[in-house]
Chains A and B, each alone.
Chain A
Amino acid sequence: MLDLIIRNGTIVDGTGMPGYMGDIGIQDGKIVATGSIDDSATEEVDATGLTVAPGFIDPHTHFDAQLLWDGKAKPAIEHGVTTIVPGNCSLSLAPLKAEHRMKLVGMFNQIEEMPIKAFEEGVEWNWETFDEFIARIKKGLTINVAPLVGHSVLRLWVMGDASMERTANAEEIKGMQALLEECLKAGAIGLSTSFVDMDETLQPVPSRYADQEELHALCEVLSSHNKILQIVHEFYDADLTVARIDQLAEISLKYKITTTFSPLFVNATEDDSVAKVMARVDEQFQRGARVWPQVQTRPIDISFCFEVPSLLFIRLPSWYQVMRFGTHDEIVAAFKDEERRTQMVAEAETMSPLWDMLVLRQVDSDANQSLVGKTLAEIAGMRNTSAIETMIDLSLEEDLQAHFLAANMGHTDNAMVGELLANPRVHLGASDGGAHILSFSTYGDTGYLFSQFVRHCKALTIEQAVKKITLDTANIWGMKNRGVLKEGYAADVTIFDAEQIDRGDEYYTDDVPGDGHRYVRDAIGVHTVVIGGAVAYQDGEYTDSARGSIV
């Protein structure tokens, strides 16, 4: 008698081989049989007409905080994701001394747009070391977690405030090496660092003050544990990206480790930039380096209201300064001040025609409800003014609760994105799951992969697409015994309707601690998700299962 049998599905096993009809038998959290199974089980799932695949792995998330109040990392699981990698981009929640908690919260708020109130009301700060953090999130964990440790927090622990001012001395580098060693032994899958991010005071995050000696010393530790290095680089510039690829390749070859950089976007205004970057990736792979670019499936959409700072305005200093540092009343006052408003409008005109295309997404007042869904150009036409003035006027009329959507801001050329996703040297990732929660939904990239790039564009076969987000990811990240439906492997399984799987519409919800909101998407066509051998999600409902583990 087995624990669970999934019967009569089309098994797309993660290896890229053609799907086949069969059953999957599960016992004690592992796959114990495939093919035709005569045995019986405590629980059976009928997968007739459905695709049975290994659980999807999301390698670029920021679920660090959410895991403290939601061990399911909702809604990741319902999109078929069974393993997540938090701690990207130099930021993890451990190791973290008590005196640095608010500093790190500030960085998460600035970089990942996580509300400070969610930390204040959703987080019980009862850990400092990485080991203690792992013990903390293990309680009630449903999803599997493969956590990175952040370079910025290593610096903060060892150097304190000096981590944000200078390079480390030899003793401090040794301290960071020892700390990284401790984190890796406690379960970290690798190290993340950032070459671009800014903290809440708009100054560089600690990792950016590291010199080559420090970075190499940390990679030496990664090497001794065969662990990965993740970076976020200057993704807006192809020449800088190529230089970072060379830097990573040198590290990869010297220390024999895997490296990955994210994100890589298809930029419509620089259509040769991806070709330039991928040519360098190809050259470096041919030399034996492992430098994996991470590419997301979804186009870039950004929503915002002026109540919270949005990265959309980061290149408009007169706007961003007041959004970032101003109170509600100060933002309103800035919009009402004729001189400041004139300056802001002039500055925003440098980004025209973006504003014309913005869509009014949500308002509170009855008076403006009829405008929801219209572009600012349309509303401005009705009001005989400009789109920028309309955006400010609506924000004042709604007491800053007018929400706007900038849709399809980039990464929109499906033919180019599809070709990139299908490239064997491209790694699917960069979802940013759990971050930017008031700007866009970071969930549903897996469904979008199948709906857009398997069914619609036919850039990948279903077997290739499954392999990209299962075995390839497991191999790149060194996750042992995951990513394939094979005897002896972890029983993480996603069962879906290949003709239906997709992401649902984006909507605004209020399930964040501290009366917070976020944008999410429901899944379409995902039938059952098994994690650690138990059903975690089925027919639109989460179960009470908590079989998630630290990978």
Chain B
Amino acid sequence: MSDLTERRKTIIPQANDTWETIAARVLPEQDTTEACGRLQSWNLHVFMRPAAPEGSPRAGNPILPSDIIFVEPPAAA
């Protein structure tokens, strides 16, 4: 997509991705807890999602394989 103008960077999660695995992959130089916090604040559409029920394979992890995950903050207004 080299001929497209730059847009806010995103990824699509890999199988069984969590905030921690994404943080390790896209923000490797940062402390994991801080990196997760940043990712969550950039992705409120995922972070604020209703929790999966107890016993669900997704319990404790709101990330879906079809999600778009931002890996940088929004552009300044």
Seen from chain A, the residues whose Cβ lies within 8 Å of a Cβ on chain B are 165-167, 195, 198, 201-204, 207-212, 215, 234, 237, 239-240, 242-244, 246-247, 250, 279-280, 283-284, 287
Contact = CB atoms under 8 A, between A and B. Distances in A.
Interface string B2-14: 0111011010100
Contacts of B3: 287
A239 B50 contact: no
Interface in B31-62: 45, 49-50, 52-53, 56-58
A243 B6 CA distance: 11
27 contacts: A166-B57, A167-B15, A167-B65, A198-B50, A202-B50, A203-B50, A203-B52, A203-B53, A203-B56, A204-B49, A204-B64, A208-B64, A209-B66, A211-B65, A212-B12, A239-B8, A239-B70, A240-B45, A240-B68, A243-B7, A243-B68, A246-B1, A247-B68, A280-B4, A280-B7, A283-B5, A284-B4
Nearest to A242: B7
Nearest to B5: A283
A251 to B, nearest CB: 12
B65 A234 contact: no
- Chain B at the A interface: SS class: loop
A166 B59 CA distance: 12
Contacts, number: 62
Nearest to B68: A243
Size class of the B contact interface (CB-based, 8 Å): 20 to 34
Given A165-B58, A167-B15, A280-B7, A244 B65 contact: no
A166, A280, A284 — most chain B CB neighbours (10 Å):
A166
A215 to B, nearest CB: 8
Nearest to A236: B45
Nearest to A166: B57
A243 B5 contact: no
> 10 tightest CB-CB pairs across the interface, nearest first?
A211-B65, A243-B68, A243-B10, A239-B8, A208-B66, A202-B50, A165-B57, A208-B64, A167-B65, A242-B7
A338 B7 CA distance: 49
A198 B49 CA distance: 10
A526 to B, nearest CB: 41
Nearest to B45: A234
Contact of B8 (A201, A203, A243, A283): A243
Contacts of A210: 65-66
A212 B15 CA distance: 10
B64 A244 contact: no
Nearest to B12: A212
B56 A165 contact: yes
Contact of A209 (B4, B5, B65): B65
A215 B58 CA distance: 20
Contacts of A203: 50, 52-53, 56
A180 B3 CA distance: 34
